[in-house]
Amino acid sequence: MNNENNQKPISPHLQIYKWNISSLTSILHRFTGVVLYFSIVAICWYIVYYTYSTSIKEQSDICECWFGTIFKIVIISATFGLTFSLYYHFCNGIRHLFWDIGKGFELKTAKINGYLVLLISTVLTISTFLLIVYLKLY
């Protein structure tokens, strides 16, 4: 059989695949689930480590260097990402619960709900950090 005569369609690949909001929210939902799972391990390690180590005041006095500043930035960024993951996974989980009862499968509704989940998760994350900053300053 000749390849020129065989005109079967080829599956779309990443270079020609057109992303839509449903695929983005599905991938992001799985990714945030993995992030939340591994963050529980990291949080447990953090609690155990600081329970059995010296006091936190003594440890913060040890390193007043550039590494301490970079470490704080990494921790704040990770906390921001973890907070977004938590809110996004929660909001998209509610969206999936509506899908389980058969609501929101229409193409227009699913698209609006996808953008709404992203918007609500972002707003909740930013408002949480603004609340933390407000409570820390006052």
| DSSP one-letter string for 29-51 | HHHHHHHHHHHHHHHHHHHHHHH
| pTM of structure | 0.77
Domain ranges of the chain: 21-137
Looking at residue 51, its pLDDT comes to: 80
pLDDT exceeds cutoff 60 at 10: yes
CATH fold label, 21-137: 3 helical TM bundles of succinate and fumarate reductases (1.20.1300)
Residue-wise pLDDT tens digits, 55-76: 555 555 556 677 778 888 888 9
Per-residue model confidence as pLDDT tens digits over 84-133: 999 999 999 999 999 999 998 899 999 999 999 999 999 999 999 999 99
Mean pLDDT within 2-31: 76
**What does the pLDDT look like over 18-41, one tens digit per residue?**
788 989 999 999 999 999 999 999
DSSP tag of 20: -
Predicted confidence at residue 9, as pLDDT, reads 60
Query: Residue 83: which of 126, 26, 34, 29 has the closest Cα?
Result: 126
On whether the CB atoms of residues 128 and 95 are closer than 8 A, the answer is no
User: Measuring CA to CA, how many Å separate 5 from each of 9, 12, 32, 95?
Assistant: 12, 20, 45, 46
pLDDT recorded at residue 89:
96
